Amino acid sequence: MKVLVPVKRVVDYNVKVRVRSDNSGVDLNGVKMAINPFDEIAVEEAVRLRENQLASEVIVVSCGSAASQETLRTALAMGADRAILVESDAELQPLAVARLLKAVADREQPGLVICGKQAIDDDANQTGQMLAALMGVGQATFASRLVVEGSAIQVTREVDGGLETLALKLPAVVTADLRLNEPRYATLPNIMKAKKKPLEALPAASLGVDIAPRLRHGRHEEPAPRKGGVKVADVAELVGKLKNEAKVI
């Protein structure tokens, strides 16, 4: 069974982003970029499946500019077998990415697709669910545990109030939550090896799907910061403030 893992190049999670002075977007000049952390977890899960002989090949795919090759190399260094770059310099919104991934899935026929549950830049949390819909297969989002059993999977999901476990027929789309696994660090020898692994670049236009943006993004702004509060000396003062000043208890 092939496992397809879509990965996205995003601003590193440690970076505090700034809005451009003309409010037209976020200033990404010179900002450190990295693989989306949830996608890293998805790659790790897929690689473990192959290591446990439950998958035959792990294919990572990224939709974006040539710079996304770097993200794909990171995934290859973690243990993915080969990579596909669906290259486009245009803005790609979740529905467009889902369509491109559907075209790649039609070609590769994966038994399982593992995505990150959301990208930490646009926080949309849509692509995996949209891909499952376009493929006409089942979905298990926010996964914290994945068990492959023949032509089916059992997935434990993190939901409001606790956990739920689903059984799905394969093929299916799973999206990874934080506690699915702890991704490995790529070792230097594996980083070197990854440079020789196959990376195929496909122009997005060659896949024949409509990728025009549907949503227009207008004014970007930083939310009003909370006003700095005060430090209280002790518990008695705290209780006094909560009762008499804030009146919340």
Return the residue of 67, 90, 163, 201 that touches another protein, per CB under 8 A: 163
188 binds another protein (CB under 8 A): no
Residue of the chain from 145, 158, 191, 209 that contacts another protein (CB under 8 A): 158
Taking the least distance from each CB to another protein, the nearer of 161 and 189 is: 161
118 near another protein, judged by CB under 8 A: yes
Cβ within 8 Å of residue 45, ≥6 positions away: 114, 146, 174, 176, 180, 181
Cβ–Cβ contacts within 10 Å for residue 228, how many?
Answer: 5
Q: Which residues contact 215 (CB under 8 A, 6 or more apart)?
A: 93
- Give min distance, CB of 56 to another protein, in A: 23
- Tokens 């409010």 -> residue: 23
Binding test (CB under 8 A) with another protein, winner from 133, 192, 201, 205 = 133
**209 touching another protein, by CB under 8 A:** no
Backbone angles phi, psi at 145, to 5 degrees: -155, 140
Asked if 87 touches another protein (CB under 8 A), the answer is no
Per DSSP, the three-state class of 38 is helix
Mark the segment that binds another protein (CB under 8 A) among 39-47, 105-113, 163-171, 195-203.
163-171
**Among 6, 64, 79, 138, contact with another protein (rule: CB under 8 A):** 138
Q: Of 56, 151, 165, 187, which one interacts with another protein (CB under 8 A)?
A: 165
By CB under 8 A, is residue 230 in contact with another protein?
Answer: yes
Q: Does 229 bind another protein (CB under 8 A)?
A: yes
Residue 137 makes contact with another protein by CB under 8 A: yes
**Residue 216 identity (one-letter amino acid):** R
Minimum CB separation of residue 15 from another protein in Å reads 9
The pair of structure tokens assigned to 25 is: 């977007």
- Window of 107-115, 162-170, 183-191, 195-203 that interacts with another protein by CB under 8 A: 162-170
Give burial (CB, 10 Å; 0-12/13-18/19+) of 159. Answer: exposed
CA distance 86 to 65: 8
Binding positions for another protein, 27-66, rule CB under 8 A: none
How far is 41 from 157, CA to CA, in rounded Å?
A: 15
Q: Nearest distance from residue 229's CB to another protein, in Å?
A: 4
Instruction: Please give the Cα distance from 103 to 89 (Å, whole number).
Output: 18
- Asked if residue 186 binds another protein (CB under 8 A), the reply is no
- Tell me: does residue 147 bind another protein (CB under 8 A): no
Burial class for 60, CB neighbours closer than 10 Å (0-12, 13-18, 19+): buried
